[in-house]
Structure 1
Amino acid sequence: MTSTRLLHPLTALLLATASLGAVHAAHAADATAPAAKHAITHEDVWLMKRVGAPVPSPDGKWAVFAVTDTAYDSKEQWSDLWIKSLADDSAPRRLTFSKGGEGSVNWSPDSKQLIFIAKRDGDDAGQIYRIDVAGGGEAQRLTTLTLGARSPKFSPDGKQILFVSDLFPGATDEESIKKIAKERKDRKYSARAYETFPPRFFDKWLDDKQVRLFVMDAQIGAKPKDILSGSKLAAMPGFGGGQGDEGQSLDAIWAPDGKTVVFSASTNRDELARASAYTQIFALPASGGEASQLTADKHSYNNLKFSPDGKTLLCLTQAETEGKVYDLDRLASFAWPLTSPQPKILTAALDRSISRFALPADGKRIYFTFEHAGLEQLHSISYAGGDVKAEPSAATGSINSLNAGGNALVGVWESAINPPEVFAFNGKAPKRLTSFNVEKAAAIDWQAPEHFWFKTPDGRQIHNMIVKPANFDPNKKYPLFAVIHGGAANMWRDQFVLRWNYHLLAKPGYVVLLTDYKGSTGYGEEFARSIQFDPLKGPGDEVNQAVDEAINKYSYVDGSKLAAGGASYGGHLANWLQATTTRYKAIVSHAGEMDLVMQWGTSDSVYGREVNSGGPVWGNLPVWRDQSPIMQAGNHEKGTGFKTPILITVGELDYRVPVNNALMNFAAQQRLNTPSKLVVFPDENHWVLKGENSRYFYNEVHGWLAKYLK
């Protein structure tokens, strides 16, 4: 890796369009009179169609994916399944016509039927529906469960379906679940009670539902069977799955013989306030009974898949190293039937975290992507491991989904100037299969991000991207807006972003700087771990250095007009910068913490913060105080403290960085007579996800920056 890596925006754009075929012939034919382009608008960002992950059929002939037709009023928004032939260049066609949307698509082994999860005809919870792709017709509902169904999967012979659902404590069947649900709906009090941690997750107070696995015949009217309840595993107080918006999930798949279910689950969820949760692999007869534990360590295993020949179980694994804040996701394999509980780590020599992997039917190579320097490109490795090979990929952008069916390999590719579309990856240059957003994107005046690197005083190489506004003139001077990513275990990607769209932020005439500070992913395990014991100061110093490097490197950056902002961990760092430097004219902080101790005690995630700071909050550890922005608020004798005008925004339903942080922030600013504005979104969580709220958020950010930078 060299200290500088430059992709000229025009060069990057030409590379991307040449390899991906993103320019329509009609545009080329009209080269003498190019259509006028416009600066990006919020409508451009919000109303781009949102293309979901394609799921190819087992025979490799078709791919099905969701497409969301967006609207500012959520009641007017539609999401449907589309299908695209992988054998020819025919246009994709809409497969479903339902306002509610569909998810968790799974093909039957003969590639003739699909099952998916949807809410239709008054469903209170998502149910399993089946549609005959070969014969046509309407989708048929297969389940009518009070608590719904999730993650359905056909058995290898197509005769049964495995899925995830929930039970209430004490319930033994659907009738008792229905009875308890009615009793809870009718009760007069609204109190919640907890004896285990966490009580809430992102924007939801958690309940006492218990996650379970079910198997049913793939027929209308078939009765699902709970195959987990009654087992010793399910009775463990720490048993559970990963927490998601729809409840806990269990990563479960059919074994090749169709008689066994293999899944990963946690047995120490009851220790989340004092330990990391780890997930082990288990096997369970599809008819029910006792589960067998297949792994015997304290690592985590997820994303389980069997090789096409059924002889290898593959997954991603994290070491869950004690006392460390980050572990790589590595690709691992087990011989099947299992001969040893110890996995073979296929990517042990690759110092990158695997994002996703796919297994074409030819069984020759495993295909995967990983983060690196703003990109996610395609790579492969043999089943023996060790021989990582770069596969044909676009020179820019990110692959954000990847699935195999037959020998077909498909996914979604996007870049900052190319909204998501479905692509085929067939060993040649990636081929674009859909064009939902191509025409809209071609009408926008935008440039691909420009990449550059610099070295920190302690020797780290730091990657950055520069994004320029519409009508950019290199002979002019532009204010710089340093936008800080969240995480911190995250990376700025060359991709089309909805919540902090680079080009929309730059639109009024700003150069946007995106820096992957220490703690970011995409640069190796130790780089991501380097934030430990130094949660804000070190990353903040590197953001400041990135600003200096941009000022020195690019003559069009006006070093006298600087702003900084970010969300989540980026909001934490925005607060830190406001407290420790006065070089910025304006700060924007969304969902930013103010006090490490308060954030530890009120967030829905606590143990990782304790590990990051070196010990519990009641220990004599200076980091809890020394790196809390609120404790630096009055450092005016040092020439710092809260002086820079700050815009504070927060979702009232944010339980990851609770609203008390924003309230403390605003109180301190007002106490110190610092120009400040608090914007609260009562119906938003950690992110601003509603259309009109999003438009208002961008207007507030633009207005704040204009007030102090123009």
Structure 2
Amino acid sequence: MTIPRLSIFAILISAGLAGNAVAADAPAAKHAITHEDVWLMKRVGAPLPSPDGKWAVFSVTDPAYDSKEQWSDLWIKSLTDDTPARRLTFSKGGESGANWSPDSRQLVFVAKRDGDDAAQLYRIDVAAGGEAQRLTTLTLGARQPKFSPDGKQLLFVSDIYPGNAGEEDVKKSAKERKDRKYTARAYETFPPRFFDKWLDDKKVRLFVMDADAGAKPRDLLAGSKLAALPGFGGGQGDEGQSLDAIWSQDGKAVVFSASTNRDEAARAAGYTQIFSMAAAGGEPQQLTQDKHSYHGLKFSADGKTLFTLTEAEEEGKVYDVTRIASFAWPLNNPTPKVLTATLDRSISRFVLPGGSNRIVFSYEHAGLEQLHSINYAGGDLRDEASLPTGSIGSLAAGGKAMVGVWESAINPPEVYAFGNGAPKRLTSFNTERAAGIDWQAPEHFWFKASDGRMIHNMIVKPANFDPAKKYPLFAVIHGGAANMWRDQFVIRWNYHLLAQPGYVVLLTDYKGSTGYGEEFARAIQGDPLKGPGDEVNEAVDEAVKKYSYVDGSRLAAGGASYGGHLANWLQATTTRYKAFVSHAGEMDLVMQWGSSDSIHGREVNSGGPVWGDKAVWREQSPVMQAGNHAKGTGFTTPILISVGELDYRVPANNALMNYATQHRLNVPAKLLVFPDENHWILKGDNSRYFYSEVHGWLAKYLK
């Protein structure tokens, strides 16, 4: 059934459910967190303010255990008053990639609706109301739309097949592929797969079209020498490759970042350069001439400065901090001015609020992510008003308005306004449910490791916590390794749900973690598992010593991805733990190098190729420590092993080797295989089963 829409201005004062609804009844007694609490929290997407700063649009997913019952729609919130947020779309398929017209009256977004074989661009008139109108009907769909500065055109990303010259060719190629009688895949490029997908031969392209239904899109890169390069492409994501592209302020040019060395992925670091081309078409001009990476392009309001995020892509290094840089526009000098060169932190995101010459940005540090700013010249670094705990997960500016999503471990995501005094919460989708849970904010502590590094940790306590009691400790190890435990609400490894049966959860940012500077993140180079594993062990020692309620005789450890790697390493090298949990964990560095979807970074981290003389390939592969079993120093502790069969980042052969090793050594082990999951467990019932198995495994050996 189609639900008619009124003018948004009328809807905003009409009756109905609101994002900011307040329960009239007194709150019920608090309860220990359940899987339903975690899974059914509404998932609030990144808000985008209108250019006039009066509105913010964002997605809200209403989750369900049955994916057929799950809804995701766009919501809109006034930024000038306290009128509750209201639903803007009513489509079960969901929307993404929303972008405002310059006059703040229309929105374009991406959706796959009835009759669409691929996601298409839709436009809705926010001011006048009415149904969303489909703008594109491309065979391979459309994504990442952006209005031109005059609102008359749209820039977006789509794909073609090799040799296609237009949409008719694309349609013909798609039919040929659909009609094939064989199912084989053929590859001459690397990698052949990504996370949970075998890649195809589509080629990413930039398109421009008039912002009207029925308008014909133009492939800006058609016939260009740039697009013909074997290494041309964009960043790989779930929906294909992406090209970070924006309009110049006068609307006459398109500026974008793209890679020209994707064909070297197996033997070199990838990098993205900045290009410009006329909106009418022609050969793109390469503006930067280095081997850095650039993304997150933004123009200043006057169009005279181009800002970007950049990484140096330093050869032979496993990690580079992300910095803010700028270029005078038109870009005649290809050397960037790095504005955060003295700040040893990776910038997550930045915005350019109207009416200001300051850049507002966020970065990770010690479990938090807060706001900071510098001026356009890169000076006068300041801390901006932020909440004292938690993390900012998105940030966008429109006019003088600045909005984003903030969350913490005990405050699921909500939309907030920033930049005008203390942050102000604009939505309350999850506040009532969160208020009914018995949980405490994580407690932070630091210690000095034996290698001299200061290591940050968080402690999470279970419901009904009694400091006079003794609790088993579960050391949960984050993935990455270029990652950081954050004070945030997590679905896949929710801290409080892991602690719920009566465990204290320890979260340690071992060396290799982000949020502590470039050297700290690079410190695992040549030492991928032993050094981080030692620091996890030392963190456990510190927690036992520091907190009287931790029972040092009942310890467990586990994690996923790189955290799974470390769990396997600890099982192979120590007997101090009573149980392990390893999800998507590697067992053999050589096998992981050859079977995963990313290999060059693994060579850099280990100091050379697998056929070289670097001992780390053998000495830090968990399976190669199987001889420790006879010595009684490892591979004796019971382990729960889990894997998604569609995981191509840490393929399932690692879990199978792990399980085989345990049985060969007669170690208690259990293997969970999820045929329909990838690197993460993303389906509701699978997630509930996974948590129940983790709880059951820990209870068996810790209680």
TM-score bin, normalised by smaller chain: over 0.9
Match runs of 1:428-577 below 5 Å: 428-577=421-570
Match of 1:162 in 2: 155
Partner of 2:111: 118
Contact 1:308 1:360 in 2 (8 A): no
Q: Residues of 2 paired with 1:485 and 1:332: CA distance?
A: 30
Structure 2 residue corresponding to 1:235, chosen from 228, 249, 253: 228
- Is 1:36 matched with 2:29? yes
Q: Give the Å deviation of 1:363.
A: 3.0
Deviations 1:604-631 (A, max 9, x none): 0000000000000000110000000000
Which letter does structure 1 place at the counterpart of 2:109?
A: F
* 1:668 alignment partner in structure 2: 661
**SS of 1:572's equivalent?**
helix
Find the partner of 1:71 among 42, 53, 64. Answer: 64
Aligned residues: 685
Partner of 1:422: 415
**Structure 1 residue 638, shift from structure 2 partner:** 3.2
Q: Is the 8 A contact 2:309 2:323 kept in 1?
A: yes
Gaps of 5+ in 2: 1-18
Contact 2:20 2:85 in 1 (8 A): no
1:86 pairs with 2:67: no
Q: Deviations over 1:290-345 (max 9, x none)?
A: 00001010000001011112111001000000000000000001111113101110
Pairwise CA distance, 1:35: 3.5
SS at match of 2:692: helix
Per-residue displacement from partner, 1:226-264 (whole Å, max 9, x unpaired)?
010211101111000000001011000001110100000
Structure 1 residue 266 corresponds to structure 2 residue 259: yes
Query: What is the deviation of 1:112?
Result: 0.3
1:204-603 correspondence to structure 2 within 5 Å: 204-603=197-596
Tell me the residue number matched to 1:137. Answer: 130
Tell whether 2:694 aligns with 1:701: yes
Q: Which residue of 1 aligns with 2:650?
A: 657
What is the Cα deviation at residue 25 of structure 1? 8.9
Shift of 1:458: 2.0
How many angstroms does 1:640 deviate by?
1.6
2:629 pairs with 1:636: yes
| Residue deviations 1:501-538 (CA, integer Å, cap 9, x gap) | 00000000000000000000000000000010000000
Partners of 1:349 and 1:386 within 8 A in 2: no
The question of whether the paired residues in 2 share the 8 Å contact of 1:652 and 1:658 is answered with yes
The code of the aligned residue for 2:42 comes to K
Instruction: Please tell me the residue identity of whatever aligns with 2:274.
Output: I
- Structure 1 outlier segments of 4+, above 4 Å: 22-27
User: Does 385-394 or 44-53 show the bigger shift?
Assistant: 385-394
Contact conserved, 1:370 with 1:377, CA < 8 A, in 2?
A: yes
- SS across alignment from 1:597: helix
Cα distance between partner residues in 2 of 1:494 and 1:458:
26
User: Equivalent residue for 1:679?
Assistant: 672
- Whole-Å separation in 1 of the counterparts to 2:417 and 2:274: 32
CA contact (8 A) 1:486 1:568 kept: yes
Task: For 1:106 and 1:23, locate their aligned partners in 2 and report how far apart those are by CA, in whole Å.
Answer: 24
Q: Gaps spanning 5+ residues in structure 1: where?
A: 1-21
Question: 1:633, CA displacement in angstroms?
Answer: 1.8
1:58 equivalent to 2:51? Answer yes
Cα contact 1:281–1:301 (8 A) shared by 2: yes
Q: 1:24 to 1:452 in 2, by over 3 A?
A: farther
SS at match of 2:481: coil
Q: Does 1:48 align with 2:41?
A: yes
* Partner SS for 1:230: coil
- Distance, in Å, in 2 between the alignment partners of 1:143 and 1:612 is 45
Share of identical aligned residues, percent? Answer: 81
TM-score by length of 2: 0.96
What do residues 18-44 of structure 1 show as CA deviations (whole Å, max 9, x unaligned)?
Answer: xxxx999989x96xxx74100000000
Whichever residue aligns with residue 659 of structure 1, its letter is: A
Q: Distance in 1 between matches of 2:634 and 2:464?
A: 37
TM-superposed deviation, 1:164 = 0.3
Q: Counterparts of 2:538 and 2:380 in 1: how far apart (Å)?
A: 37
Question: CA contact under 8 A between 1:309 and 1:363: conserved in structure 2?
Answer: no
* Cross-structure match for 2:186: 193
Shift of 1:136: 0.2
SS of equivalent residue, structure 1 residue 282: strand
1:468/1:510 contact within 8 Å kept: yes
- After superposition, the C-alpha distances for 1:69-121 in whole angstroms (9 at most, x for unaligned) are 00000010000000000000000000000000000010000000000000001
Q: 1:23 to 1:66 in 2, by over 3 A?
A: closer
Shift of 1:122: 2.8
**Counterpart secondary structure, 2:659:** helix
TM-score (norm 1): 0.95
Report the counterpart of residue 100 of structure 2 in structure 1.
107
